[in-house]
Every structure is written in structure tokens, then in C-alpha cells.
Structure 1
């Protein structure tokens, strides 16, 4: 298996040295040869960014979540129809009539990669760690409807008092404080995956920092990741309870951030997928190997509201108005992503009464208007008593995000005289750290839905949310979110009205700048079959994929 990794890296080096020639068409014979040459059921896969962590408690980014979900399974998983179904749970759970108690029986053939059985205590331990304020888990808020979770997160109760009980090694009971319609979708998300208590305790701060410091109970183990490197492998886990359904022996993953490089590798038959952006999307439009995946993911600019200048709503709105989102998606990104005028993506959630899509009903805000932006900027300068301001814009360092950063910089500087934007494009792991430390003025970020409910987005701007890196605070917005979770939690129409009003408030306040709804264009080996793609939660599942020979 290690020979395959060496061959892959040598092929990568060779292609990087080659020019990006040809007409963009892919040689199908090269694709077949690549698959056969790799040794059967082995895939050479590419990723746009590095892994940040393998610790499901501390995980904050979708790329890390995508890969850890191949190594660890929770009680439930998302199937090809986008529905949560049993995984480590042996069967569908039972739910009390009042919707407050969930009970699950666990499989008796699920084991960790160290040979120990997966038990109910592994879930209890992981969820207690999730809500423990000392852990600092950004996803802790997802557990807020579990009994005593809020009190634990506030430091008022011990994590051991969380409403999750190991009835036995193979039975778990979960007590909620209020009905939560999307709760089973949460159980399929990586933040709620189990952890082996003895192993985590032994590893301490090293847990999840490399492939040697993680245990698997899923279809693959993660190998050969040193914590910072740009390569890792998914290796078939022979001890997985459904190992006979897993056909891929190994997935060699290489982070490649330059579009031309990864396309070259694909055309040479060295990799089985290539993410395509910009002009190359147009050049490859007729390639039969092109696939486009639309995501429930919004890219947006987050303001640091601790910055005294950015506390001025007119300045925030002016910045939003000079970004031409149609030009951004058509001329800069060009990967099938679409312009978006609100916080929530299209085709995500619908009005429970009318069926109208949230994004359509909410309408569009911050439409491109340079003249109005300049008027607002003049008024903001008078209110702030300044003529010139310099802002930092922090974003990822892959080719796509660099281009977006440059476009935003140009639009602001060319249309709002006196504002300078300094770009700081860094590896994603570093961008996440800078965001957590509030070391930015403007943050180029995004959010992909973890579960299908509008609250998954609206919670991000709640004043005390761990994901509210910009420290946005609006008491009226918080009250609407609270109402949707309590007073109107069991009234779908009233709850929808709360969330719609909250969305209107943040958009009129220019709390963030929506940019686009993400889509991903890839070249994909036509012999690679059986990948499950999800618009919500973890984006792809290779556990039942295979190479057609």
C-alpha cells in the first residue's frame, strides 16, 4: 500500500513540472489505465484543503468532518436519500410520545480499531466532553436541547449530569428538554460521534492530532497523517461490522490547491477527481467527466464587530453594496456557484404551510449599487470622523479563495475611496485559528448546513454562539431565536415567522455580506462508482464506492 503513496507523489511531482497543454479533453484510456495501475480497488483522491483535526469534539471545518466521518460512525448515518438511518445503532430508536426521550439499542458487532467493543458509554463520554466548557467545543450548542446541557455549558452543572444515560453497554437513553424535530439528523453528524474514553484519556492533548492518535469504528482507518501534512490515506477497516460491503481497499488523499495542477493530474490519469474553478470550468464544459454538485452552503463575509469602524451599519452596508455577486460567480469563480442575496442557501428548507423556499420568501439584500454605497460611505466618514481606513481581509490560501479575496479587495478599494484592504490568505487551519482569536477585520468564510433546519444558520449570529467570530450582538435578533426554540418550538408556522423576522433583521443591519451559494465542479473518473453525495452535513461518502474494472 505504501508503494502506491510513493507512486502518487512521484506522479504529482512530474505533472507539476509539465505545462498545462491540450484542449482540456480527458483521455478515457488514461482513466482506465490509472485505475488498473493503482492495483484494483484503490482511489487517488484530491482535497482542496488540509485536515485541521481528527477530534470530533474540536472539529470546526467541513473538510476534517468529511474525512473523519469515513473512520468513525455515530448512532445514525445519512443514507443516499439524505435520511438518518441506523449505523452503530442496531435498529431505529424509540421516541416517547412527548418527543423528549430517545432510546437506542447498539449493535453488538461494532468494535474500535484497537479491538474494544463500541459501547453506550463511548457516546455518553463523547457528549459530556462536547458540552464541557473546558473543552471549548464550537459545536457544543447543537446539544442545547439535551437535558442539563445549557447549565453544563454555563459552568453551573457537572458534565456528568448531562441527560444521556448508558442503560447498559448496548443501550443508551437520551433525555431532551423540548421536542427537537431535527434531533436524529444531529445524531448522524460528526460532533455526536462516540469516543473511546480510555484512549482519549491516555492521549490527552494529543488526541486527534495525527492518525496515530485516533481510533476508528467505521469503514476506514485514517493512516499516514502527521497532523500538518498534505497527504493521508483511508485504509479499509477489516474489523468494520459491514466490511463485506466496503470494496475500496485504500483511498490515497493529496491536498492540491492549484486548479491547473490538479486538472493536469486528472488528465494524466494520476488522480481520480479534480476540483475545477474559474476559466477551466468553461474550457472543460463539454468534457464527459465533468460533474457539478450543488451544496447547501453559503459563502459570506463576516465583519469583526469589535472594530469601532465596523460597528457603523452604513459602512458595513456600503462594503456589501460594492460587491457584484453576479460578476463574482460568473467571471471570478466560474464553478457553477450561484449568487445569493441572503444568509440561507436556496432549496434548503421550506415554509411549513406554503412550501415556499426560505431563500425565495426572504428575498435579496445588498444588491450591487455603487452610487448608494458611495453615499453611505460619505455619511459613515462624517459620523466616524475619518477620511481613510485600512482593513484586513483574512481568507484561505487555495487558488479559488485567493481570487475571491483579490476581487473583493478591488471592488472595495476602487469604489470606496479612502478604504484600503490588506489581504491575508493563509492555510485553512490557520484561518480558523485567526477567526477564533478575532484577528481579522473582514473574514472570508462560509457555512455548510449540518442538518436541514433554518436554525442551523441563524444560530451562527446569536450573540453567545461559538461560531459568532465577529461578535455580532443584537438583542432583538437573540429574542427571535429564543422564541423559535421555546415559545414557538412546537408551532411550525409561528417558529417560521420568528426565523424569517430574524433573517430580515440581520440582513437589513448588514450583519454579514452574503456572497454565493457554493457548487462544486469536478472532473471524476467515470469508473469510480457508488459515491454518495449529500448537500447537508458531511459532503460525500466513499464507503460503498468502487472502481468498475
Structure 2
């Protein structure tokens, strides 16, 4: 998921900075409103087209799939009241609740799921998330335009029964069902608004705990309003969750100190200043911020040049001094704390062997860079580094510029732009080099590793390696039913990508917040859509 889920995007593809806030009113209304600030704009609420973490966080609260993900990503009932799975693990049958409605009053039916999945998989939609359907019958063939969209392994058996057929077991299938890409869509609304569908709060309908209001498509604020058509509205305690874009963290902290915010995310500097405060809360994120080089450019095809630029970066210092805020150095692309080995319960990153190019070594880096330039027939290299315009990402860009320019003959120009623009530029490969990020869509290493396959739309660097593709294919198919073999495939793939410096991992992000004790039961998960406000309240 780029945060800005694709840069991830820098909101985060990129993670978004959420700040839960008191609404600034008094009496009982204040106790039913949380005001939240974010450091990135909302892009679209079309679940087939978004890649942004911020949008997924909104969709997770205004819509609902077969399941909801509660605390620690626990699978909880959503639109499905019950489900069964065949002995071979390849057929799921879901019984849907009959009292689920869209915010326009229409019933939510099995056909809404069929329509949504087919729409996302349809090549005409150009969804960057179609690959998540891999393993569902004919999904890959549909993506490759070798099968009709109607052949997808999902079928409505009447209005309230849904059958999904898989090509092989998918160990994380139920977790996927709690991710917004798999949520239903109302075909009537899609057809009504056409190209404008999901581009504002009024061009969408909702079936979750809240509805989206007051978003024009370009403004910097929006509100989640309690959905009176939601089947479980009696357990939704809030009337509103209000969002506004605040890109300067000092503004958020000032508002917190003035009692106008219940929760404020801190910058790196602020995190250190507030280190001993009782209201400080740390949150680890299942993420990776990295540099992607457009490998259609001759210089970036050269391995030594990529290795040199990786080796000149001091990751521990970068994480601790530049980014901070709970960020950690990680020599892996897959985040720490995401998944454990089926054999001995150790973290996935423990099985990864980081190459020398992931270690800070300026002397060797300069040697490699000089050799790389000679190999491509250049005496110097000048490129533009694209990144988002949030405060912390500007700081990161400046550090990277300083570090990279220690390589003789290298000059880096910075271009920091809004999140909605950077997502588009990355998707269209309109960059030379860019800081990107990926946030886990679910708690399995494949959520990171899938995006480096040669045909994945989120492979913005356009790195290609046939052996890597084979390993990922094996983990998703032939070895899908063998936990250890699948694990080994993923470890080998990760090591291969790191050795070939497919991208340059920088750090795994974290968040540090000042949170008032009055904010209760906001569910935060490190993977997938991070925030769930369904049962939240202010005491």
C-alpha cells in the first residue's frame, strides 16, 4: 500500500499522520466527536483505484467487507454472518446479513461483491491492486487479458450467499477480506457518476459505520459522519470523526498543548523533547521507506551505481537522528514484526541475509560509483529526487541529498510535491528517482514481496528478475499449501532482491503521539488499513 499505500504514498502508497482530536466544542457533542489531522490530502475514495494509506483508512470506516479487522488484526464479523471452507481450502461460502444497507437505503447484496471484484480486476480499470486477487480462480488470467472478467471465481447464489473459488489455498485469505480492495461496490452509483465516481464525498455511497461528508475532492478537510443505515449502528458511539490536513507538526503540538487536540503526532525533534511525557505513545508501523530508481534510465540499470548509492547511506543514523519518531533501521524490505517462521517462530527478517551494499561503507561506495560511471560511459551523474512535501519528508530529502552527493561526480536536485501528485507521477513512471514507501496490506511477507515482481503495477522502479518472479509465483501457487516451503521461497526472493539492489530500503517508520487519556478504543493495526473508529469514543 502506498502511503500518499503508493508512496504507498508518502502519506504515506505512504503512512498517514493521524491526529485524533477533541472537536473544540463542549457538552455531550464534544464527547461524540473526534477531530483528526493528517499530513496528506485525500486522493480518491474509489476502492478499485486508490493506493493511498490515508484513503484506505477512510474506506475502512465508511465501508465494510465480508469481515472487519479488530484489534491485532483479529477477524470479526462484517457483512458476512458466517462462512465455511471446503476441506481442500479452495472454496469459501459466505452467508450475508440481510439487514446491511448502503447509505442510500439500498440493500447490500452478494452481487455487490461480484461487481466490485470484477471491476477491480478488469484491465480497463487499471487498478494497481489487482495483483492481490492472485490465487482466486482466473484472477491472473483476467489481469493478463487471457480470460473474461465474468470467469472470476466469485459467484452470487441469490442475494445473500456468496461463493469464492480459489486456485490454491491462500493462507491469509480471511485477512484479505478485511482489506478495502475486497469491499463491495454499488453498481448503480458507479454507473451514475461514471468518471466522477469516488472523486468527492457526494459521488459515492457507503455501507460502513460512517459516511464521508464535506469532501469536495480538492479541499483539505472532510468528516466521517455516523451512518444511520449501518446494520450495527447501535455500537457506533461517535457522531463524527473530523479530518483536516496539517503538514506542520508544530501546529499540531501547539493545538494539543492548548487543549484543542486529543491526539497529536510528533516530528522527530518533538519526539525527543517529549520523551518523558506521560501522554507519549509509540506505534510501530509495518512499512518500508525506500528509494526507487527508474531503471529504464541507463545509469540506474548499472548495479554498481545502485549499490554505491545504497552503501553511502548511514541507515542507523538516518532512522535515529533524521527520521526518529519511532523509526528503526531495517536491512530488509519486509518490515520487522510482521510475520514469524512456521518452523521456529522467529521474525521473517531474521532469515534474511543483507548484502554488503546495505551496510554503510563510504570508501567502498565511492569505488563502486566510480566503476559504475565508467561502465556506463559517464563522468558524472545528475538526477532529480522526487518526494512528498510533508515536513518530515523534506528533512529526509535534504539528508539523502547530502549523503548521496558525497559520491564524487553525483549531483542531486530535490523536488518535493503534494502527495496526490506524487502518486500519479510514480504510477506513470514520470520520475528519475523517488522516495517511496510501502505499508503492509496484511500480516504476511508477500504483501511486500509481490510488488517487486516484473508485472506488478506497484513496481515503480521497473526492476525485473525472472528468478525472483519464479520464487514469488511458487510461494503463491505450488508451495502455497506448504508453510515451510512457501516461507523458504519468500526468504530466497527477498535475498535476491536485496543482492540485486532492486530498490534501496531506508527505514521502517514508526509514530509517536501525544494522546489524551480521554480517547478510548481507537483500534490501530500495523498492517492493512491502520485505523478503525467503529467502537471509539471519548470518555
Give the TM-score band, short-chain normalised.
over 0.9
Structure 2 unmatched ranges of 5 or more = 1-20
1:149-194 superposed Cα distances (whole Å, 9 cap, x missing partner): 1221111222122111100101000011111111111111010010
When normalised by structure 2's length, the TM-score is: 0.94
Residue 214 (structure 1) aligns with: 204
Residue 370 (structure 2) aligns with: 378
Q: Aligned-residue CA RMSD in angstroms? A: 1.5
1:381-460 residue pairs with structure 2 within 5 A?
381-413=373-405, 415-460=406-451
**Kept after mapping to 1: 8 A contact 2:34/2:241:** yes
**Kept after mapping to 2: 8 A contact 1:34/1:269:** no
Equivalent residue of 1:174, what SS?
strand
Residue 524 (structure 2) aligns with: 533
Residue 132 (structure 2) aligns with: 142
For residues 134 and 32 of structure 1, the distance between their equivalents in structure 2, rounded to whole angstroms, comes to 42
1:122-521 residue pairs with structure 2 within 5 A?
122-365=112-355, 366-413=358-405, 415-521=406-512
**Kept after mapping to 2: 8 A contact 1:47/1:253:** yes
Q: Offset at 1:38?
A: 6.0
For residues 437 and 35 of structure 1, the distance between their equivalents in structure 2, rounded to whole angstroms, comes to 47
1:35-56 superposed Cα distances (whole Å, 9 cap, x missing partner): 6596331111111211111000
**Kept after mapping to 1: 8 A contact 2:23/2:33:** no
**Kept after mapping to 2: 8 A contact 1:35/1:43:** no
For residues 32 and 192 of structure 1, the distance between their equivalents in structure 2, rounded to whole angstroms, comes to 32
1:212-247 superposed Cα distances (whole Å, 9 cap, x missing partner): 011111110110001111100011111211111111
Q: Offset at 1:487?
A: 2.3
Change (3 A) 1:118 1:311: same
Q: Offset at 1:313?
A: 0.4
For residues 38 and 277 of structure 2, the distance between their equivalents in structure 1, rounded to whole angstroms, comes to 21
For residues 211 and 40 of structure 2, the distance between their equivalents in structure 1, rounded to whole angstroms, comes to 20
**Kept after mapping to 1: 8 A contact 2:22/2:34:** no
**Kept after mapping to 1: 8 A contact 2:31/2:537:** no
Q: Offset at 1:410?
A: 0.7
Equivalent residue of 1:310, what SS?
helix
For residues 137 and 263 of structure 2, the distance between their equivalents in structure 1, rounded to whole angstroms, comes to 44
1:511-548 superposed Cα distances (whole Å, 9 cap, x missing partner): 11111111111112221111111011111111111110
1:280-332 superposed Cα distances (whole Å, 9 cap, x missing partner): 11111122221111111111111211111000000000001111111111111
Residue 60 (structure 1) aligns with: 51
Equivalent residue of 1:306, what SS?
coil
For residues 35 and 439 of structure 1, the distance between their equivalents in structure 2, rounded to whole angstroms, comes to 48
Q: Offset at 1:128?
A: 0.3
For residues 339 and 516 of structure 1, the distance between their equivalents in structure 2, rounded to whole angstroms, comes to 5
Change (3 A) 1:175 1:33: closer
Change (3 A) 1:425 1:36: farther
1:349-400 superposed Cα distances (whole Å, 9 cap, x missing partner): 1121122211122143411110010010111121111111111111111001
For residues 444 and 493 of structure 2, the distance between their equivalents in structure 1, rounded to whole angstroms, comes to 14
Looking at CA atoms only, which structure, 1 or 2, has the larger radius of gyration? 1
**Kept after mapping to 1: 8 A contact 2:299/2:373:** no
**Kept after mapping to 2: 8 A contact 1:35/1:42:** no
Equivalent residue of 1:404, what SS?
helix
Equivalent residue of 2:463, what SS?
coil
For residues 475 and 73 of structure 1, the distance between their equivalents in structure 2, rounded to whole angstroms, comes to 37
Equivalent residue of 1:515, what SS?
strand
For residues 325 and 78 of structure 1, the distance between their equivalents in structure 2, rounded to whole angstroms, comes to 33
Residue 8 (structure 2) aligns with: none
Equivalent residue of 1:338, what SS?
coil
For residues 293 and 508 of structure 1, the distance between their equivalents in structure 2, rounded to whole angstroms, comes to 30
For residues 482 and 80 of structure 2, the distance between their equivalents in structure 1, rounded to whole angstroms, comes to 30
Moved more, 358-367 or 250-259: 358-367
For residues 81 and 28 of structure 2, the distance between their equivalents in structure 1, rounded to whole angstroms, comes to 39
Q: Offset at 1:262?
A: 1.2
For residues 59 and 430 of structure 2, the distance between their equivalents in structure 1, rounded to whole angstroms, comes to 28
Q: Offset at 1:31?
A: 7.2
Equivalent residue of 2:113, what SS?
helix
Q: Offset at 1:502?
A: 0.9
For residues 514 and 132 of structure 1, the distance between their equivalents in structure 2, rounded to whole angstroms, comes to 32
Change (3 A) 1:266 1:165: same
For residues 534 and 421 of structure 1, the distance between their equivalents in structure 2, rounded to whole angstroms, comes to 36
Change (3 A) 1:38 1:86: closer
Equivalent residue of 1:393, what SS?
strand
1:51-76 superposed Cα distances (whole Å, 9 cap, x missing partner): 11100000101111001111000001
The correspondence for 1:96, drawn from 86, 96, 109, is 86
When normalised by structure 1's length, the TM-score is: 0.92
Equivalent residue of 1:66, what SS?
helix
